[in-house]
Amino acid sequence: MTEARHLSIRVPLLARVEGEGALDVAIRDGAIAELKLRIYEPPRLFEQLLQGRSFAEVPDIVARICGICPVAYQMTAVQALENAFGVQVSGWAQDMRRAMYCGEWIQSHALHIHLLAAPDFLGVDSVIALSSKQPEAVRRGLHLQALGNELIELFGGRSVHPVGVCVGGFHRAPHPRDVAALVEKLHAALPQALELAHWTAGFPIPDDGQDFTCVALRQPDRYAMDAGRIGASDGLEIDASEYQAHFSEHQVSHSTALHSQYRSGAYLCGPLARLNLNGECLPQPVREVLEHTGIGLPCRNMFQSIVARSIEIYFALLEAIRILESYVPSDTPAVAVTPRAGTGAAATEAPRGLLWHRYETDDRGRILHARIVPPTSQNQARIEQDLKASLEAFGLQRPENELRRRGEAVIRNYDPCISCATHFLRLTLDRR
C-alpha cells in the first residue's frame, strides 16, 4: 500500500561539508515533486579579479578559491599558463609537483573520511563524538591528515595557501635532509593507511547501485593526478584544450554554482570515477588492497566513495615514497619563463574531481581572460540525480529525520566543496 503523503524536508545549513549549502526536498503523494541542492554562498568573482593581474600572481590568487585544495588550483593554473607561454618545465619539477599533489590527496581525503563522512556510517554526528567511540581510528586519521599537510609544507611552506609553486617550476628545492625525514614518516604510515582501507571497507555500506557516466583524467602509464587527457566511461578522450567543445555549463535558479553537463547529461568526477576509469593503472600493492576491500570495478555505488578515498590515500603514500626515495635537489627548480600573448588550458585531478582552467594572456603575461571549472559544479547535477534515486530507493514513507540524514549522507559522498563551486557566479547588485 502506498500512502499518499505530503512532506517537506528542509536542511537549511548542511553540516560536515566544505562551504555552505542547503537541501530542499518536497514529497507529494508519495513521490519527489521537487529536489534542490541549494548553493547560496555569494560569488567571489575570481575570474574577474584575475583580469589585469600578472601571471606570476596567479598561483597566489587561485589558491584562495579553496582552502582545502589550494594545491589543485595552483597546479592547474601554472600548467595552463606554461601551455600559454610554450614553457616546458623540467622532469624534476614535474615529479615534485606530483609528490606535492599526493600530499593534498592525503590530507583532503583523510579530513573528509574522518571529520565529514565517517560519522554517517557509524551513527554519530561528529568526529568529536566518534573519537570517544573509536579513539584509535580517529587518531590514525588525524595523523594521516597531518602527514599529508607536512608533505605540502615540504614544497610550499604551509599547507593552506602554500607559497612554493611558480610558473616554470618551484621557487625552491627542498633540502634532502627534510625529504629523507619525511620519506621515513611516509613509510611508517603505510600500515596505518592499510588499516584505514580495511576500516572503511568494513562500514555498513548501503547497497545503492546507479547508472552514471564517469569522467577523469587518464594517463597510459600511471594513475592520473597532476596531468593527463580528459577521459569518460563512454570512450571520450580529449586534450584539456578541447574541454569546452564537449562540456557545457548552465545556470539554475537555486544555485550560485553553474551546473556542468556532458552530452546533455549529468556525470561523475572524483575518486570513484577515477578508480572506475584508471583502476588498472594502480600499482600492484594498491590493486591487491582494492581486491581485498571487495569493491568490484566498475563500481556503481557512490557510498563506496569513502573506500575509494582510503584506497587513494594508500596509493598517494606509495607514490610520494616512489618519487621522493631517490630525491636529488635541483639547482634550477624553475626554468626561465618568457611571457607572450597566448591561450593555455590545463586540467588536473583535485581530491574531489576534475579541475579545469583556461587563461588568455597579453604579451607581458597579464591575464586578459580566465575560466575555471571546479569539480563541485561538475558533480552538482549528478548529486541531485543521485539524491532523487537514493531517497526513492531508501523509501519515501520513512520518517522525516531518516530521510534527511540519508540525503545529507548522499551529498557527502561527493565531498562537495561549495566554497570552490561558487567563486565566479553572476550576480545582481543590491545597492544600499
Partner 1 sequence: MTAIRPAKLRVAVHKFSSCDGCQLAFLNLGESLLEAAELVEFAHFAEAGPVDPDAAVDIAFVEGSISTPEDCERIERVRANARFLVTIGACATAGGIQALRNLHDAKQWVAGVYASPQYVSTLEHVVPVAAKVKVDLELWGCPVTGRQVLAALRALLSGVAPLEDEDKVCLECKRRQNVCVMVTRGVACMGPVTRTGCGAICPSFGRDCYACFGPAENINAPSLTRRLQGLGLAREAVAARFHFINSAAPAFLSAGQAALEAKRD
Q: Which is nearer to partner 1, 208 or 415 (CB)?
A: 415
45 sits near partner 1 (criterion: CB under 8 A): yes
Burial class (CB within 10 angstroms; exposed 0-12, middle 13-18, buried 19+) of 395: exposed
Among 13, 31, 180, 188, which residue interacts with partner 1 (rule: CB under 8 A)? Answer: 13
DSSP secondary structure string for all residues of 136-205: HHHHHHHHHHHHHHHHHHHHHSSSSS---EETTEES-PPPHHHHHHHHHHHHHHHHHHHHHHHHHHTS--
Q: Does 6 bind partner 1 (CB under 8 A)?
A: no
**Residue located via cell numbers 517537506:** 8
18 versus 386: smaller Cβ distance to partner 1: 18
Nearer to partner 1, 304 or 419 (CB): 419
The DSSP secondary structure of 44-89, one letter per residue, reads --HHHHHTT-BGGGHHHHHGGG-SSSHHHHHHHHHHHHHHHHT---
- Span interacting with partner 1, options 29-37, 159-167, 200-208, 264-272, rule CB under 8 A: 159-167
Q: Does 142 bind partner 1 (CB under 8 A)?
A: yes
Q: Which of 10, 139, 198, 292 binds partner 1 (CB under 8 A)?
A: 139
> Applying CB under 8 A, what is the total number of residues that bind partner 1?
69
DSSP string, 103-121: HHHHHHHHHIIIIIIHHHH
Should residue 57 be labelled a site residue for partner 1 when binding is judged by CB under 8 A? yes
Compute the least distance from the CB of residue 348 to partner 1, in Å: 18
- Please tell me whether residue 7 adopts helix, strand or coil conformation: strand
Across the beta sheet with 31-39, what order do the strands follow? 7-11, 21-28, 31-39
CB of 424 to partner 1, least distance (A): 9
Residue 11 pairs in a beta bridge with 23
Residues 222-281 close enough to bind partner 1 by CB under 8 A: 251, 253-254, 256
- Site residues for partner 1 per CB under 8 A: 13-20, 40-45, 48-49, 53-54, 57, 60-61, 64-68, 70, 107, 111, 115-116, 119, 125-129, 131, 138-139, 142-143, 145-146, 149, 157-161, 163-164, 166, 171-172, 251, 253-254, 256, 417, 419, 425-432
